[in-house]
Amino acid sequence: MNAKRALIVIDLQIGLGYELYNFKHVLEKVNQRIAFYRKMNQPIIFIQHSDKSLLRGSTDWNFFPELNYYKDDWLIEKHHANAFYHTSLSNIAF
């Protein structure tokens, strides 16, 4: 049985991540995993949070510039802590 899988990268945004413990190391490891999924031609889904304190288009809303996000990657915007709540995440077929 071939299991389908995808990498889901959640909320690695400027306004949310500087408080992460050892965040540069975290970004390095996430980018390594992204590179692995790209090499294996597996889908990568980026989840981006928006709310009153994290306004779409603001500097804090953007992903970290070091994050290996491409414009043609899957992108889902969420407005709740749960990435499945009122988003299309559960509907993605690959």
CATH classification of the domain holding 13: 3.40.50.850
**78 contacts 50 by C-beta, under 8 angstroms:** yes
**44 contacts 76 by C-beta, under 8 angstroms:** no
Domain that holds residue 48: 7-91
pLDDT confidence of residue 41? 92
Measured CA to CA, the distance from residue 37 to residue 5 in angstroms comes to: 10
Classify residue 82: in a domain, yes or no: yes
pLDDT confidence of residue 83? 75
Ranges of the chain whose pLDDT falls below 50 = 1
pLDDT confidence of residue 1? 42
Total number of domains constituting the chain: 1
**49 contacts 17 by C-beta, under 8 angstroms:** no
Percent of the chain predicted with pLDDT > 70: 90
Classify residue 85: in a domain, yes or no: yes
CA-CA distances (angstroms) from residue 9 to 17, 19, 44? 13, 17, 8
